[in-house]
Amino acid sequence: MSLNQNDSIAEELSRLLLVPQNGMSTQIAQVSHRLTLIDEWGGVQSGVKIVELGCGQGDCTIALANAVGERGLVNAIDPAPPSYGAPFTVRQAQQHITSGALGKRINWIAGDPLDVLSKDSSPATTYDIGILAHCLWYFSNPSVIRQTFERLGSTCKRVYVAEWALSASKPTGLPHVFAALTQASLECRKPQSDSNVRTVSSPAAIRKLAEEAGLKMVKESTFTPNNGLLDGKWEVSAVASAGFVKEVEDNVKDERERSVVFALRDSVLRSLEAVGGRDSLTSMDVWCAVFERA
């Protein structure tokens, strides 16, 4: 599917979502990106049954529901409480989608994905595809990622993965790479984290975890996302903020460890200057992979 086609479909699908305060153009870019992920995986056939982990407010879910057609189904699982999220909660966003044209194709499930999948082990609950789209960095540690791959391998014919690549084909995406690593250096020093960057794993590390779980990679690709995707700007702004400095001071007591986190933050700030400031920022590359049972 061409970029222009994706943008056209993304605009139509975005009208089925609650529009965020930063506007329709931001939402269209997010949905268009999810359509690109589907293309990079090799497409989703009409009529298939999908389980999506870490669905959140449904940016990827709506793209998957569009792809599976009237005979398909998306079971969308997220561990966040229904009241989580702003300016709209997870419940508000999901209920809005349910009331729309594609709502009947989606079954929203609130709960820990591993717990839900453990109950989804009968032949009647076997899925054609398991989806992990930009959610692995939310996991608490690599062991949980491996366990999730094991469970998906027993319930899904194929597993589709998309995550930030920790590389940037464009220099303007490098601050996003540094910002992600900087946030991870702080979050791994907290006893608990609710950040969207908790366990940073590279494509090579994710592939290794999947293989340890009994999966084999059959396809992979890396691409540069569209300039309308603002994740790079959001993550860099978070690291550059005074709030981040306070979090480091509150949570990192060892002076050598604190020095490492602040050195990483400085690298973000210097790289931001090098690319011409926040307005020039883009997001880093994205890695997509398809796995099957070994």
Q: What's the pLDDT score for residue 190?
A: 87
- DSSP H stretches of helix in 142-254: 142-155, 174-187, 203-212, 231-240, 242-251
Q: Convert the pLDDT of each residue in 176-202 to its tens digit.
A: 999 999 999 999 998 887 777 889 999
CA within 13 Å, CB half, 46? 3
Q: What's the pLDDT score for residue 19?
A: 74
Q: What's the pLDDT score for residue 121?
A: 57
> For domain 3-168+196-228+282-293, which architecture applies?
3-Layer(aba) Sandwich (3.40)
DSSP sequence for 11-78: HHHHTTSPPPTT-HHHHHHHHHHHHHHHHHHT---TT-EEEEES-TTSHHHHHHHHHH-TT-EEEEEE
Give which of 72, 208, 189, 188 is closest to 128, Cα–Cα.
Answer: 72
Q: How far apart are CA 98 and CA 156, in angstroms?
A: 25
Q: Convert the pLDDT of each residue in 212-264 to its tens digit.
A: 999 999 999 999 999 899 999 999 999 999 999 999 999 999 999 999 999 99
Which H or E run includes 157? strand 156-164
SS3 220: strand
Q: What's the pLDDT score for residue 98?
A: 95
Q: How far apart are CA 252 and CA 119, in angstroms?
A: 39
Q: Residue 112's CB: how many other CB atoms inside 10 A?
A: 12
- DSSP H stretches of helix in 69-109: 90-98
Q: What's the pLDDT score for residue 83?
A: 84
Q: Convert the pLDDT of each residue in 121-178 to its tens digit.
A: 555 568 999 999 999 999 999 999 999 999 999 999 999 999 999 999 999 999 999 9
SS3 288: strand
- Strands of the sheet containing 127-133, edge to edge, are 106-110, 73-78, 49-53, 127-133, 156-164, 286-293, 215-223
Q: Convert the pLDDT of each residue in 96-133 to its tens digit.
A: 999 999 999 999 999 999 999 887 655 556 899 999 99
Q: Convert the pLDDT of each residue in 6-64 to its tens digit.
A: 778 999 999 999 876 667 898 999 999 999 999 999 999 999 999 999 999 999 999 99
Which H or E run includes 114? helix 113-119
Q: Where are the domains of the chain?
A: 3-168+196-228+282-293
Q: What's the pLDDT score for residue 292?
A: 97
Q: What's the pLDDT score for residue 191?
A: 81
Q: How far apart are CA 267 and CA 275, in angstroms?
A: 12
Task: Collect all residues with Cβ–Cβ distance below 8 Å to 106 and sequence separation of at least 6.
Answer: 58, 61, 65, 73, 74, 76, 97, 98
Q: Convert the pLDDT of each residue in 264-286 to its tens digit.
A: 999 999 999 999 999 999 999 99
Please state the pTM of the whole predicted model: 0.94
Q: How far apart are CA 102 and CA 16, in angstroms?
A: 8
